[in-house]
Structure formats: structure tokens, C-alpha cells
Amino acid sequence: MPAAAFGILLFFIAAAIVIGAAATWLIGPRRPLAVVVPVLAAFGALYVVGHRSGLAVGPTVDLFGFQVNLLFDLAVASLFAGIAAKAQCLLVTRRASRRAGT
């Protein structure tokens, strides 16, 4: 694997971590392990949209020698991280209300 491929992979891993952490902080639940699901959702979205599907929406930028639709890819990753954080928040709230009711 060339060094440029490692560079873009590390960039997208870092972007997924930042996006997932921001989604967890903005939407909730604010627990240390709650970051894992939105980060995985963001990385999965980056992998599927950016690498597998071949969707090309909007302008491209040259990143580590690759043509990347950076704004679209990051927007989709943010959307999926937000959905995952909201679903996780609803699940935690539902469990808490069930425990309080019994």
C-alpha cells in the first residue's frame, strides 16, 4: 500500500473520530463510550460513499494524490454520525425510563 493511501486513510479515520465525537457531544448521550457508535457510523459512511459507491457530488479536491469529494463525503459522514447518536440517545433514554417506571 503506498504512503499516500495510508495518508488518506489516516485522514478519514481522524475525520470520523472528530465528526463522531462532535455528534455525540451535540446530540448525546454524553458518556465516554457513547462516542464509539457515531464514530463507526461516520467511518462506515465515508467508506461506503467515498470508496465503494463511487458517488461524485460537488467539487473535488486533490488530497494525498487522490481526487476526493471532500465536502460531500464529510457531510454524509456527519449525517450518519448524527443519526447514530440520536438513535443511541433515544435507546438510552428509553432504557432509563423503563428502569424508573419499574
Q: For the segment 44-94, what is each residue's pLDDT rounded down to a tens digit?
A: 999 988 777 777 788 888 989 888 888 999 999 999 999 999 999 998 877
How many domains does the chain divide into? 1
Reply yes or no on whether the pLDDT at 21 is more than 90.
Answer: yes
Q: Which domain holds residue 56?
A: 3-101
Q: How confident is the model at residue 15 (pLDDT cuts 50, 70, 90)?
A: very high
Does the model's pTM come out above 0.75? yes
- The CA-based angle 7-62-52, given to 5 degrees, is 70
Confidence at residue 32, expressed as pLDDT on a 0 to 100 scale: 83
User: What does the alpha-carbon distance between residue 72 and residue 56 come to, in Å, rounded to a whole number?
Assistant: 8
C-alpha torsion 17→39→75→8, nearest 10: 50
